[in-house]
Amino acid sequence: MRAAKNPGPDAILFAPSMAGQLIRPVTPLPTLRDAGTEINGDIDGNGAPDVALDGSLLLPSWAASGLRVTGDDCTIRALAISRFPTDQIDALDGPGTKIVGCYINTGLSGTQASFRASEAGIVIGDSDQVGGPNEGDRNVICVGSAIGIWMMGKGALIAGNWIGVPATGQGTFAATREGTGVWIGSG
């Protein structure tokens, strides 16, 4: 990824030809280190993910998160992220990170569980935001993993998400494992 090599904030966008595509990395993805970086998987502008990241080809021994954020004030918008060996998004060391409009532990439809035994769907720290007041901010999170959202910091906002509820807003995910929706730990 060129963005990882360029200092300063980056806008990571996807070409229209990537709509509906499943990206299956064979090595861990680079960490989002630069403050203000935004990755946006909403290609057609409807607010829903058009690109899916699937970590099923990564070896469990790598203990790789799907996306790891260490830069301040980064935004992850409208991506479907599933099947990474550990957390799907780890923003514990990225204060001010916003995670909005994503489908976690599910595919692009947001209606079917897609996970492996990971630690958490999303891990957040100080001043991070998961979801928000607007419909487009809502994350859809399948709690097939141990924990849907693990909050380990202070001043974080968790709002408006559908945890255990598919993108249709009806029913629940048919998960094969029990989990915890939100876990609040000491930060």
Residues 6+ apart with CB under 8 A from 173: 106, 112, 113, 142, 143, 144, 164, 165, 166
The whole domain housing 10 covers 2-184
Residue pair 70/93 in contact (Cβ under 8 Å)? The answer is yes
Successive 10-residue mean pLDDT values, the chain, 187 residues: 69 96 95 97 96 93 89 98 93 97 95 80 95 96 82 94 93 72 77
The C-alpha atoms of residue 69 and residue 75 are separated, in whole angstroms, by: 9
For residue 127, give the DSSP letter: T
Q: Is 133 exposed, middle or buried (0-12, 13-18, 19+ CB in 10 A)?
A: exposed
Predicted pLDDT at 173: 83
Q: Please state the pTM of the whole predicted model.
A: 0.92
> In whole angstroms, what separates CA 7 from the centre of its chain?
23
Residues forming a β-bridge with 52: 22, 80
Residue pair 67/53 in contact (Cβ under 8 Å)? The answer is yes
Predicted pLDDT at 176: 52
In degrees and rounded to multiples of 5, residue 67 shows phi and psi of -125, 130
Number of domains in the chain: 1
Predicted pLDDT at 29: 94
